[in-house]
Structure 1
Amino acid sequence: MTGLHVLVTQPWDDYALIDSGGGRKLERYGDLRFIRPEAQAMWQPAAADWQADGEFVGGSDEEGGGRWNLDPRVPARWPVARGPVRFYASNTPFRHLGFFPDMGGQWDWMRQQVAGRRGMRVLNMFGYTGVGSLIAAEAGAEVTHVDASKKAVAAARENATLSGLGVAPVRWLIDDALKFMRREVRRGSKYHGILLDPPKYGRGPDGEIWQLERDLPELVQLARQLLADDAAFLVLTVYAIRLSALALDALMAEVLGDLGGVITSGDMAVREEARGLLLPTAIFSRWQPA
């Protein structure tokens, strides 16, 4: 490893980190503005008075708790886009808005790896509402999208229809991550690209317990076995602040070291519009052939 890297998501037409500080952040989703807690915004905000259409208050962590205080004009959901892919934003009980905008940099990089390659098969684990799956499908990949939540997969299918990708070659599966990947290994399945975006904690459709620190090593080992000989990438993103990008890098190097290629690890961040500050949001590690 030659040092930690920072993958920055810049503001785009339908999303911006407008300002941050004092343990909060002000963001724009389409034409609507929202305030959310942000522990890593330790500095003072650029503006003293934030005007927003809603704020998430209360709660102690990213796993839940708290509530939204919303202006009555805020709809239940509204369409936004990242390039040609369209999807719905909504104010969820878990303080986020139905997708993770700091993944923008990863989506763009993944699309570059997919575009122009024929017969590309991509696996998106913990695929949530499907933005990463749709970006890969729009670029020409055949995608397998897996999430344990029936509600999340239903939202992903709605996003596919909204994007005009309702008949794209995407398999939408509701399954436990480790059980699915173990079966795929036994079947001899192979993928040219794999996106892993595991939560800190989670439950499978039959009550299976996912714990990041316990289960992440097996997840990466299974992903290694599912990579095709001519694979193009494996991306791992983690939102658990207790972990370090150095730890992800060491794990990826141990499991994928026999492949050669390049492993890049570091922080994911969003650039603030007000002053250009970088707000860190997650850590990542990704492999690609040399």
Structure 2
Amino acid sequence: MKNNNVLEYQLLDTGNFRKLEQVGEWKLIRPALNACWQPKLAAKQWQSADAEFLRDSSGHGKWKIMNRPLPESWQMRWGNFNLHIKPTSFGHLGFFAEQYANWEFFEKIIPTLGKNVKTLNLFAYSGIGSMAMARAGALVSHLDASRGMVEWGRINQSMNDDVPDRIRWIVDDVNKFCKRELRRGNLYRGIALDPPSFGRGSAGQLWKIDDQIIELLSMCRDLLEKDGNAFVTLSCHSPGFTPLGLERLLESVLGPGKIDSREMTIPETTGRVLPAGITSTWQRM
């Protein structure tokens, strides 16, 4: 159920490759590999954090309690959504704040594409982008290889009364699903994807962005409606990719269109912003 009393998210400060965040009621420190500068806030502000995530060489890690023990989960509000927050062994919490502008774009563009348009959200994580699409009127196919993340998305939807039941929740490997949709002749008016650098599908299939992104984008092109307005939004956190590089990639695979590429950022309460990946949207007008 919707709860207007849950607290918002704030990025309080960054520096020394860490970030200090207010995540609802809880103050946390997590790694921030782009934050190569000095913090702005006093050390006592950082020392007041409830917990810090310490990552090990495997990419996993542990939460070190500094002041208050963390609950297993809690609620938070961000991007006009109530969210289920749960600290994981990867240091994730269930949302990526830098995607906020993309959620806003989905809610703005989808009503202009027609009624009951179909959209596809790949590598869709905990479903906030899917909820934005559904709230804007789309019939959404939400796909992630992790059954746990798809269930997390269902929980998020249940906490937002203004998100209609227009999301099809799918656990599958992205490449397998797209090939199956092409065989079935299913087409979409908009597609979003936020692929990891490396990962595994629902049955252990290997994913490497450097080797497979062109093939996947080619399938996305073929899954778009052939006439009328359409969009593809690609986000990326992988080293070596740049906004201009994503623009060239989309242009080469999808063909002529309006392309907007930018660095994703998260605003700090100090007035600075934290760079947090890149995104590019291609539109057929």
Report the 3-state secondary structure (helix = DSSP H, G, I; strand = E; otherwise coil) of the residue aligned with 2:93.
coil
Partner of 2:175: 178
Report the 3-state secondary structure (helix = DSSP H, G, I; strand = E; otherwise coil) of the residue aligned with 1:115.
helix
Partner of 2:97: 101
1:111-147 deviation per Cα after TM superposition (whole angstroms, max 9, x unaligned): 1011364122110001111111111111211100011
Partner of 1:233: 231
Counterpart contact for 2:131–2:163, Cα < 8 Å: no
The answer to whether 1:164 aligns with 2:158 is no
Partner of 1:153: 150
Counterpart contact for 1:157–1:166, Cα < 8 Å: no
Scaled by the length of structure 2, what TM-score is found?
Answer: 0.90
In 2, the alpha carbon distance for the partners of 1:42 and 1:202 equals 27
Which AA in structure 1 matches 2:274? L
Counterpart contact for 1:54–1:69, Cα < 8 Å: yes
Partner of 2:258: 262
Counterpart contact for 2:259–2:281, Cα < 8 Å: yes
Report the 3-state secondary structure (helix = DSSP H, G, I; strand = E; otherwise coil) of the residue aligned with 2:120.
strand
Q: How does 1:176-215 map to 2 (within 5 A)?
A: 176-215=173-212
User: Aligned match of 1:131 in 120, 128, 133?
Assistant: 128
Counterpart contact for 2:20–2:30, Cα < 8 Å: yes
Partner of 1:6: none
1:246-279 deviation per Cα after TM superposition (whole angstroms, max 9, x unaligned): 221111001111xx330111211111111x2221
Counterpart contact for 1:18–1:273, Cα < 8 Å: yes
Partner of 1:281: 276
The answer to whether 1:220 aligns with 2:217 is yes
Q: How does 1:78-89 map to 2 (within 5 A)?
A: 78-89=74-85
In 2, the alpha carbon distance for the partners of 1:66 and 1:82 equals 25
Scaled by the length of structure 1, what TM-score is found?
Answer: 0.89
Which AA in structure 1 matches 2:258? V
Indicate the larger mover: 67-76 or 204-213. 67-76
Partner of 2:247: 249
Partner of 2:4: none
1:20–1:111 distance in 2 versus 1, CA, 3 Å: same
In 2, the alpha carbon distance for the partners of 1:16 and 1:166 equals 23
Counterpart contact for 1:85–1:138, Cα < 8 Å: no
CA deviation after TM superposition for structure 1 residue 188, in Å: 1.3
Residue segments in structure 1 that go unaligned for 5+ positions in a row: 1-12
Counterpart contact for 1:191–1:231, Cα < 8 Å: no
Determine which structure has greater relative contact order: mean sequence separation of CA pairs < 8 Å that are 6+ residues apart, divided by chain length: 1
| Percent pairwise identity | 39
Q: How does 1:37-48 map to 2 (within 5 A)?
A: 37-48=31-42
1:166-211 deviation per Cα after TM superposition (whole angstroms, max 9, x unaligned): 8612111110001100111121111111110111111111111011
CA deviation after TM superposition for structure 1 residue 103, in Å: 0.5
